[in-house]
Amino acid sequence: MGTVYKAHDTIIGRDVAVKVLAGALGSEPGYVERFRREAHTVARLTEAHIIPVFDTGEVDGRLYLVMPLVDGVDLGALLQRDGPMLPERAVHVIEQLAAALDTAHTAGLVHRDIKPSNALVTPRDFVYLIDFGIARDTAAGALTSTGVVVGTMFYMAPERFTSDVADISSDIYSLACVLHECLTGRRPYPGEGMEQQIAGHLTVEPPRPSQQRPGLPPGFDEVIARGMAKNPQHRYPSAQELAAAARNALAAPPASERNAAPTMCGGSYPPPVWHDHGQPPAPTAPAQGAVQDLPTNSATRSRLRTATVVPTILLVLLLGAVVFAVTQFARPHPHPSTAPPDWQPYVDDAEQFAVIMTTFNPASIDSDVQRVLDGSVDEFHESFASNETVFKQAILDGKKATRGTVNAAGLESFQGTAASVLIAVTSTATGIDGSSEPPRNLRLRIQVRKVGDAYKVAKGEFV
């Protein structure tokens, strides 16, 4: 939104930082108001970890802010350069950001854009929270009525995607995301695409840092889980309480053993039994790139929505029914038999459903959707049914037919009337104009349950 320059104040005789609103935005009322709001917002706050504003003004139609000149680098660049931090240092950073946030929250302000690039770190690890340009007064209305979601999707709380409701708990969620990245060097959810981020923040369980970086104290898993809880009421009530919990997590023993294979009682499983239908696709590595803001131009949003709506809906609906902590069932080794194994119907049903779930056509959308509903129960069925109308419209608007092909399937676990099955699927999309898109390789974990004489899908997740 603005460019920061180093300048010299000839009256006081000191170096300062001058933030100037980009020239192209000077005619945009929304950006001008945001720029002015930053000055007014920061002027209300007195906290060591918030850079004060010395002066503000306008020259030749260009708005500017004058602030102290800070020798530092933004946290995002620091993590990209040096990788994940030592746990003690990560907690030290979060404690300082939490102090700044609590001051803002006490003043009735919500930052709405907590992310690594909005934290400035000095050579002595003193941290400043910056860029209050989209902060909102909780006692006032929204800045605009355009319906545009403001913030950065990689660290955005779930409720922001669905309604752009932003309050203290939304900032706390984002702060937990930043803590995760400080500890692991990774954003909470992989992928650069909007559909991946929406699905992750809306439906995927919070990640466990100790599983991504062996040796981290396991207490950080609980801190991230609560800080990134989908339900805002389940999060920490304040940023300082999140920071205190992170400090307490440092005292816990390391989690080196948590990545080891679980011990089975009463027997153990052989490796998953794969039924090949060709070569299973290799997992697609998520692209890594610069942080991107959500598009605010209506035409850009329209094009993006058209290009991604089908995979977005597929991903969200599938993940919406997920329980990521899949129960690991134990059973004794099977006895040799000439009859099909008891688990075979579960694998067969999972294969069939994987094809159904990845095959849709605008011309037959009603029957395609009905097949999904007929083949599912429990959370999966409820999630899909509640989004049926939106899903159908997305397929019609996307003007693409998708087709799924199973490459491999294998039993992961089996007990009683429930089984967990791993599926490798290739999905292709063809436009009604004959255009085609590159195949998408997917790996799914599908849980199948026997209901009467039928087999139904109850849950699913990408792996």
State the CB neighbour count (10 A cutoff) for residue 108.
13
CA angle 392, 431, 203 (to 5 degrees): 45
Of 113, 131, 171, 368, the active-site residue reads 113
Cβ contacts of 368 within 8 Å, gap of 6 or more = 356, 359, 360, 361, 395
| Catalytic status, residue 15 | no
Give me the residue label for tokens 């005292």. Answer: 251
3-class DSSP string for the chain = CEEEEEEEECCCCEEEEEEEECHHHCCCHHHHHHHHHHHHHHHCCCCCCECCCCEEEEECCEEEEEEECCCCEEHHHHHHHHCCCCHHHHHHHHHHHHHHHHHHHHCCEECCCCCHHHEEECCCCCEEECCCCCCEECCCCCCCCCCCCCCCHHHCCHHHHHCCCCCHHHHHHHHHHHHHHHHHCCCCCCCCCHHHHHHHHHHCCCCCHHHHCCCCCCHHHHHHHHHCCCCHHHCCCCHHHHHHHHHHHCCCCCCHHHHCCCCCCCCCCCCCEEEECCCCCCCCCCCCCCCCCCCCCHHHHHHHHHHHHHHHHHHHHHHCCCCCCCCCCCCCCCCCCCCCCCCHHHHHHHHHHHHHHCCECHHHHHHHHHHHHHCECHHHHHHHHHCHHHHHHHHHHHCEEEEEEEEEEEEEEEECCEEEEEEEEEEEEEECCCCECCCEEEEEEEEEEEECCEEEEEEEEEC
The answer to whether 443 and 463 have CB atoms below 8 angstroms apart is yes
Please answer whether residues 115 and 291 qualify as being in contact, where contact means their C-beta atoms are separated by less than 8 angstroms.
Answer: yes
Q: How far apart are CA 122 and CA 128, in angstroms?
A: 8
Q: Which residues are catalytic?
A: 113
